[in-house]
Amino acid sequence: MLLDAVFGRDVRVANLEVANSLVNQGFVQVTLEAVRQWEYEPTFLNGEPVEVATSIAVNYTLLP
């Protein structure tokens, strides 16, 4: 699953979208809920925190 995310200046997820997914919709919803709870180290530009856009790859392996 590939997610497009924007991290706000407050180190929380400001925007999160599924860019590509080949997994069950249940996995998608659980993954989105989990990623929305993450906190990140802020990124600074000229001493000020800035928003950052990135992609997040999430891989699932189902064991027998």
Domain boundaries, the chain: 2-57
What's the predicted TM-score (pTM) here?
Answer: 0.83
Residues 6 or more apart whose Cβ sits within 8 Å of residue 64: none
Q: What is the C-alpha R_g of the chain?
A: 14
Q: pLDDT tens digits for the chain (64 residues)?
A: 999 999 999 989 999 999 998 888 888 999 999 999 998 899 999 999 999 999 999 998 888 8
